[in-house]
Amino acid sequence: MTTISRRDMIRSGLALSASSLLVRTAWGRAAALLEAYPEVASAEALAAVAPREQLLFDFEWKFQFGHATDPTRDLGFGNGQGDFAKTGDFEFAKAKFDDSKWRSLNLPHDWAVELPFVHDDVQASHGYKPIGRRYPETSVGWYRRAFDVPASDLGRRIAVEFDGAFRSVLVFVNGCFIGRNDNGYTPFRFDLTDFLNYGGKNYIALRVDASFGDGWFYEGAGIYRHVWLTKTDALHLGKWESTVRAEVKGNIATLNLATVVENEGGKAESAKVSWKILDASGKTVATAETALLSVPVDGAATFSASTKLNDPALWSVDTPNLYSAIVTVESAGKIRDAERVSFGVRTVAFDADKGFFLNGKPVKIQGTCNHQDHAGVGSALPDRLQWYRLSVLREMGCNAVRTSHNMPTPEWVEACNRMGLMMMCETRQMSSSPEGLEQLEVMVKRYRNSPAIILWSIGNEEWQLQNDMAEEGAKIAASMVRRAHELDPTRVVSAAVNGSNEKGVSEALDIIGFNYNLNFPDDYHRKNPTRPVFGSETASAVSTRGVYSTDPLRNTLSAFDTNQPGWGETAETWWKFYATREWEAGGFAWTGFDYRGEPTPYGWPSINSQFGIVDMCGFPKDTFYYYKAWWGKEPVLHLFPHWNFEGKEGEMIPVWVHANLDEVELFLNGESQGKQKVAPLSHVEWKVKYEPGVIEARGSKGGNVVLTEKRETTGPTVAIRLAADRTEIGADGEDVAIVRVEAVDKDGRPVPTASNLIGFKVSGDGTLIGVGNGDPNCQESDKDAKRSLFNGLAQVILQSTRHPGEIHFEAVKEGWFGPELTPAKLIITTRKTEPRPSVK
Residue type, 365: I
Residue type, 707: L
Q: Which of 219, 395, 411, 461 is catalytic?
A: 461
537 binds ligand GAL, rule: CB under 6 A: yes
Is residue 580 packed enough to be buried (19+ CB in 10 Å), middle (13-18) or exposed (0-12)? exposed
Q: What angle do CA 401, 405, 408 make, to 5 degrees?
A: 60
For ligand GAL, the closer of residues 232 and 600 by Cβ is: 600
Nearer to ligand GAL, 614 or 659 (CB): 614
Using CB atoms, what's the residue nearest to ligand GAL?
Answer: 540
Q: Is 219 in the site for ligand GAL (CB under 6 A)?
A: no
SS3 758: strand
User: Is residue 563 part of the contact set for ligand GAL (CB under 6 A)?
Assistant: no
Contacts to ligand GAL from residues 608-647, by CB under 6 A:
611
Out of 460, 555, 644, 773, point to the residue binding ligand GAL (CB under 6 A): 460
Q: Shortest gap between Cβ of 303 and ligand GAL (angstroms)?
A: 42
92 or 128: CB nearest ligand GAL? 128
Lay out the sheet containing 663-668: strands in order across: 671-677, 663-668, 694-701, 704-712
**Contact characters 579-608, ligand GAL, x per CB under 6 A:** -----------x-------x----------
Q: By CB under 6 A, how many residues form the interface with ligand GAL?
A: 11
Compute the least distance from the CB of residue 537 to ligand GAL, in Å.
5
- The DSSP bridge pattern shows strands 663-668 and 157-162 to be unpaired
Q: Is 540 in the site for ligand GAL (CB under 6 A)?
A: yes
674: left (phi over 0), alpha (psi -120 to 50) or beta: left
Tally of CB atoms within 10 A around 572:
19
Length of the chain equals 840
Give the shortest CB-214-to-ligand GAL separation in angstroms: 12
Closest CA to 681 of 762, 763, 570, 756: 570
Neighbours of 557 (CB within 10 A): 25
Closer residue to ligand GAL (CB): 537 or 712: 537
Query: What is the distance between the alpha carbons of residues 474 and 462, in angstroms, rounded to a whole number?
Result: 12
Nearer to ligand GAL, 130 or 597 (CB): 597
Q: How far is the CB of 541 from ligand GAL (least distance, A)?
A: 9
Asked whether the bond before 641 is cis by omega within 30 degrees of 0, the reply is: yes
- Quote the least distance from Cβ 515 to ligand GAL, whole Å: 6
> Rule CB under 6 A: is residue 462 a binding residue for ligand GAL?
no
The least distance separating ligand GAL from the CB of residue 372, rounded to whole angstroms, comes to 13
Spatial distance between the Cα atoms of 766 and 807, rounded to a whole number of angstroms = 5
**Residues 6+ positions from 333 with CB-CB distance below 8 Å:** none
Shortest distance (Å) from residue 236 CB to ligand GAL: 39
Which residue in 58, 339, 461, 765 binds ligand GAL (CB under 6 A)? 461
Q: How far is CA 254 from CA 444, 573, 634, 689, 779, in A?
A: 22, 43, 36, 65, 55
At closest approach, how far in Å is the CB of 368 from ligand GAL? 13
Active site (annotated) includes residue 461 = yes
What secondary structure does DSSP assign to 349-392, as a single string? EEETTTEEEETTEE--EEEEEE-S-BTTTBT---HHHHHHHHHH
DSSP annotation of 393 reads H
Residue 224, φ and ψ in degrees, nearest 5:
-95, 0
- Is residue 362 within 8 A of residue 317, CB to CB? The reply is no
Nearer to ligand GAL, 461 or 732 (CB): 461
Closest CA to 190 of 166, 215, 167, 173: 173
- The residue among 102, 119, 120 whose CA lies nearest residue 111 is 102
Query: Is 537 annotated as catalytic?
Result: yes
By C-beta, is 260 or 497 nearer to ligand GAL?
A: 497
Question: By rule CB under 6 A, what string of x and - marks binding of each residue 476-515 to ligand GAL?
Answer: ---------------------------------------x
Query: What are the residues facing 206 on neighbouring strands?
Result: 143, 171
Q: Which residue is catalytic, options 44, 330, 537, 734? A: 537
CB of 499 to ligand GAL, least distance (A): 11
Cβ atoms of 711 and 19 within 8 Å: the answer is yes
Q: Which is nearer to ligand GAL, 126 or 157 (CB)?
A: 126
In the complex, minimum distance from the CB of residue 474 to ligand GAL, in angstroms, rounded to a whole number: 21
Q: Which is nearer to ligand GAL, 220 or 733 (CB)?
A: 220
C-beta of 537 vs 775, nearer to ligand GAL: 537
Active site residues: 461, 537
Q: Which residues bind ligand GAL (CB under 6 A)?
A: 405, 460-461, 515, 537, 540, 565, 568, 590, 598, 611
